Amino acid sequence: MADSGALTLSLSSQSSQPATIVVGVTHPQTCLVLGARLRALREAGFRVILLSSPGELLDRTATGAGVERIAVPMWRGITPLADLRGLLRLWRVLISIRPDVVEFSTPKVGLLGSLAAWLCGVPHRVYMLRGLKLETSGGLKRILLLASERLAAACSHVVLCNSESLRTEAQALGIAPAAKLRVLGEGSSNGVDIEHFSLGPSRVREYLGIPRDVPVVGFVGRLTRDKGLPELFRAFVRILRVEPSARLLLVGWFDASEDALGRALRRRILNHNQVYCTGMVSDTAPYYRAMDVLVLPTLREGFPNAVLEAAATGIPVITTECTGARDSVVPEVTGLLIPPGYPDAICEAVVKLIRDDKLRRRMGRAARAWVEEHYVESRVLGLTVAYYQSLLEPEAADGLLST
């Protein structure tokens, strides 16, 4: 996001809400996963302010959740002068609002927002760790990202981790001491709406021209290197050698990020007559129902929402043993775990599931039951709300955190 133009504010007058919480992310794209979280906090009585770089998704998410918004221009990459301006802008915003609680996540605003909140003396500072970008970085960039994570954590009172494996990795990397790293419940920052993501009919195959009787391998998310798209496409080419009628359904967009796909690979994907690319869609639920199996060959995660959504829809998932991803599947029960970076492993796992209807249905039923037990949206967000309320009443906090 370009670092030009003044920050923009959209704030109502001071209300009678007991506490103000600022929820900040770097890029408006991340706002896509925040709607239910923001709404739950607002309905619990917080004055909620969403902060990110300017963009339509910031405005749309804030309006849909019924919360206020602040746009602060920020770059995703390492840009020292622009980052200094961003820090000053964030400091000015926090000084003017005087929030009771801040929750910053994603690397850039996680660092700048947490530092600004520390400088302002915000009484309750939370760094929400949604994943570790440094896991797919090397050299000087990895060193800088690790230093950034450590500084963001140092400026915060608590680091909420999205999953147990993410907490373990953060501790191993020395991002924060064990006492500061926390996971709410079983992990996940949102849970899943099991009424919306459920078994049922879908007209997606008809809409896309996919025959009813062919196996569909699905993917939902950003189409990038870190999500494993190069390996997935190579695996699909191999799958077609043994299952020539298979289709690959890619529900997502070609993200123009640092891990963007190269032009040649993108062209091959778009030109393949058995690969369907939807672009960004507002409601992914019908697309899951058109799939036989979801594959997330990711190289790094915090806790993947797409896996929970697929599981709630009764679809088995193939994902990797990477941080975060491995928490989202019960191996051989709700899906399969494979090593990252191996197209042959993806191919073998997909063929195993699409050739065994009984196994696929059994895993799908188990996946739905597992989500119903641990990851219903109201339960996960209830823990989130209770935790933030407990920051204002510390004696209520003990039962909310995993050990």
- Cβ count near 280 (within 10 Å): 14
The domain made up of 8-191+377-400 is a member of CATH 3.30.420.40:
no
Domain ranges for the chain, please list them. 8-191+377-400, 204-374
CA distances, 206 to each of 59, 203, 212 (Å): 33, 5, 8
Q: Which residues of 305-332 are buried (b: 16+ CB within 10 A; e: fewer)?
A: bbbbbbbbbbbbbbbbebbbbbbbbeee
> Residue 12: its pLDDT value, please?
39
Count of H helices and E strands in the chain? 14, 14
> Residue 16: its pLDDT value, please?
55
Residue 388 CA from chain centroid, whole number: 20
> Residue 400: its pLDDT value, please?
52
The label of the residue with tokens 């065994």 reads 356
66 contacts 47 by C-beta, under 8 angstroms? no
Q: In what order do the strands lie in the sheet with 335-338?
A: 275-277, 247-251, 216-220, 293-296, 317-320, 335-338
pLDDT digits (tens, 9 = 90+) for 80-118: 788 899 999 999 999 999 999 999 998 889 999 999 999
Q: Which residues of 360-377 are buried (b: 16+ CB within 10 A; e: fewer)?
A: beebbebbbebbeeebbb
Q: Considering only CA atoms, which of 136, 148, 175, 144 is closest in space to residue 159?
A: 175
DSSP, res 40: H
- Tens of pLDDT along the chain (403 residues)? 433 333 444 443 344 557 999 999 998 989 989 999 999 999 999 999 999 999 999 999 999 999 999 999 987 766 778 889 999 999 999 999 999 999 999 888 999 999 999 999 999 999 999 999 999 999 999 999 999 999 999 999 999 999 999 999 999 999 999 999 999 999 999 999 999 999 989 999 999 999 999 999 999 999 999 999 999 999 999 999 999 999 999 999 998 888 899 999 999 999 999 999 999 998 999 999 999 999 999 999 999 999 999 999 999 999 999 999 999 999 999 999 999 999 999 999 999 999 999 999 999 999 999 999 999 999 999 999 999 999 998 655 455 555 4
With a CB cutoff of 8 Å and minimum separation 6, the contacts of 221 are 227, 251, 252, 296, 304, 306
Q: In what order do the strands lie in the sheet with 181-182?
A: 8-10, 68-71, 46-52, 19-24, 101-105, 124-129, 158-161, 181-182
- Report the DSSP pairing between strands 19-24 and 46-52: parallel
CA distances, 42 to each of 33, 62, 87, 194 (Å): 16, 11, 26, 21
- Out of 3.40.50.2000, 2.70.98.20, 3.30.930.10, 3.10.110.10, select the CATH number for domain 204-374: 3.40.50.2000
* Fold match, 8-191+377-400 / 204-374: yes
- Cβ count near 261 (within 10 Å): 22
**Whole-structure pTM value:** 0.89
108 contacts 126 by C-beta, under 8 angstroms? no
Bridge partners of 346, per DSSP, are none
Angle at the Cα of 228 from the Cα atoms of 346 and 349, rounded to 5 degrees: 10
